[in-house]
């Protein structure tokens, strides 16, 4: 099971945004300035608050993570990492910024109004000057976190509302008590397929307070992904440590355990935030990764490798 960041940009469905906050005229400037500064920092998706949306359809309305940098006359939104990192400058006075592409023109417009940062992006085709897309975003700081509304199209075809928080403000889960021997049922070589790729996870025995594992995906005769895995004892519980592609480790704490099921969680990670292993009555293994709440987890199905 590979813990690559997925859904860099997830598109949403229908919602309502909430009520605008009123400011008294004598203190309007100070109150708005304070709220604007509260938009700054790194933000991580917590939950979909779109009214009426089924839990399996819940997802972030835009990037799982993004950062906002408040400047004197604009807010700069940063998304992506490394070579995919992108900055978008959002003006605060309703003015527009034009960003030409090879075959289109993007027009960015932002405004700080009534405690909400409103941000529109229109894309026009250069060949005929026809508008091909419209995305409206709204950002509002609340005591519970940052509410983000995204509306696509006019009239709207997609409308979503979600809550984001600073990672350090997200509560960590209560760990379950367990010893490494309680995970002995995961020991062994597990193999399966996903589409045209073969996948495998191989877990050694529970020894020395740890299970050591490795995962590999092979497609078209070539290894396309690998991952170093550990489950280790810590403070009376268990911690799942993943290193996809040999990258620095990410930790998930055990929150639920039985003789056939283990749940590991890290709500401060972008994605996945939740890892589940389940052993069926027939002896098959299913691993799934997803958000803490809602959405459709990505699943990986394995059978025990036949060495005979």
Show Cβ contacts of residue 306 under 8 Å, excluding neighbours closer than 6 positions. none
Whether the CB-CB separation of 74 and 91 falls below 8 Å is answered with: yes
pLDDT of residue 186: 97
Give pLDDT, residue 147.
98
Residue 1 has pLDDT above 70, yes or no: no
**230-253 pLDDT, tens per residue?**
999 999 999 999 999 999 999 999
Give the pLDDT mean for 23-40: 57
Q: Kindly state the tokens that stand for 62.
A: 């835009």
Q: What kind of fold does domain 25-169 have according to CATH?
A: Lipocalin (2.40.128)
> Nearest 5 degrees, angle CA 267-CA 46-CA 296?
85
DSSP label at residue 272: -
Vertex 18 angle, CA 16 and 19, to 5°: 140
Mean residue pLDDT of the chain comes to 89
pTM of the model: 0.85
pLDDT band at 229 (very low <50, low <70, confident <90, very high): very high
Cα gap 301→284, rounded to integer Å: 7
pLDDT surpasses 80 at 18 = no
Token pair, residue 85, equals 């990192």
Close Cβ partners of 204 (under 8 Å, ≥ 6 residues apart): 187, 211, 212, 213
Which letter does DSSP use for residue 209 in this model? Answer: T
pLDDT tens digits for range 276-301: 999 999 999 999 999 999 999 999 99
DSSP labels, 118-175? EEEEEEEETTTTEEEEEEEEEEEEETTEEEEEEEETTTTSEEEEEEEE-GGGSPPPPP
Q: What is the pLDDT of residues 154-209, one digit of tens each?
A: 989 999 999 999 999 999 999 999 999 999 999 999 999 999 999 999 999 999 99
Question: What residue ranges of the chain are covered by domains with CATH 2.40.128.20?
Answer: 25-169, 180-304
**What is the CATH architecture assignment of 180-304?**
Beta Barrel (2.40)
* Nearest alpha-carbon partner for 214 in 235, 245, 236: 245
Residue pointed to by tokens 């006019």: 154
CA distances from 138 to 161, 176, 193, 241 (A): 9, 39, 41, 36
**pLDDT tens digits along 7-16:** 333 333 333 3
Q: What is the pLDDT of residue 83?
A: 82
Tens of pLDDT, residues 50-109: 999 999 999 999 999 999 999 999 999 999 888 889 999 999 999 999 999 999 999 999
pLDDT at residue 14, as a whole number: 30
Give tens-digit pLDDT for 92-150.
Answer: 999 999 999 999 999 999 999 999 999 999 999 999 999 999 999 999 999 999 999 99
């Amino acid at each position: 099971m590979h813990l690559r960041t997925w859904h860099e940009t997830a598109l949403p469905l229908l919602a309502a945004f909430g009520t605008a906050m009123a400011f008294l005229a004598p203190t309007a400037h100070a109150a708005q300035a304070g709220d604007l500064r509260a938009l700054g920092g790194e933000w991580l998706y917590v939950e979909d608050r779109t009214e009426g949306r089924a839990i399996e359809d819940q997802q972030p309305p835009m990037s799982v993570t993004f950062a906002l940098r408040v400047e004197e006359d604009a807010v700069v939104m940063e998304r992506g990492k490394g070579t995919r990192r992108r900055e978008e400058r959002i003006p605060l006075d309703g003015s527009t910024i034009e960003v030409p592409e090879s075959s289109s023109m993007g027009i960015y417009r932002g405004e700080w109004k009534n405690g909400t940062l409103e941000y529109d992006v229109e894309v026009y085709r250069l060949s005929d000057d026809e508008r091909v897309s419209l995305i409206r975003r709204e950002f509002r700081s609340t005591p519970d976190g940052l509410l983000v509304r995204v509306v696509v199209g006019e009239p709207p075809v997609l409308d979503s509302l979600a809550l984001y928080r600073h990672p350090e403000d997200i509560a960590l889960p209560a760990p379950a008590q367990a010893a490494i021997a309680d995970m002995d049922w995961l020991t062994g070589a597990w193999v399966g397929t996903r589409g045209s790729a073969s996948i495998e996870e191989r877990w050694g025995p529970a020894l020395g307070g740890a299970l050591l594992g490795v995962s590999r995906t092979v497609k078209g005769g070539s290894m396309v992904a690998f991952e170093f895995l550990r489950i280790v004892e810590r403070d009376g519980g268990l911690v799942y440590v993943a290193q996809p592609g040999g990258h620095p480790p990410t930790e998930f704490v055990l929150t639920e355990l039985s003789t056939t099921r283990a749940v590991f969680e890290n709500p401060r990670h972008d994605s996945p935030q939740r890892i589940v292993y389940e052993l069926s009555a027939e002896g098959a293994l299913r691993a799934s990764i997803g958000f803490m709440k809602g959405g459709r987890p990505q699943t990986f199905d394995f059978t025990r490798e036949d060495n005979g």
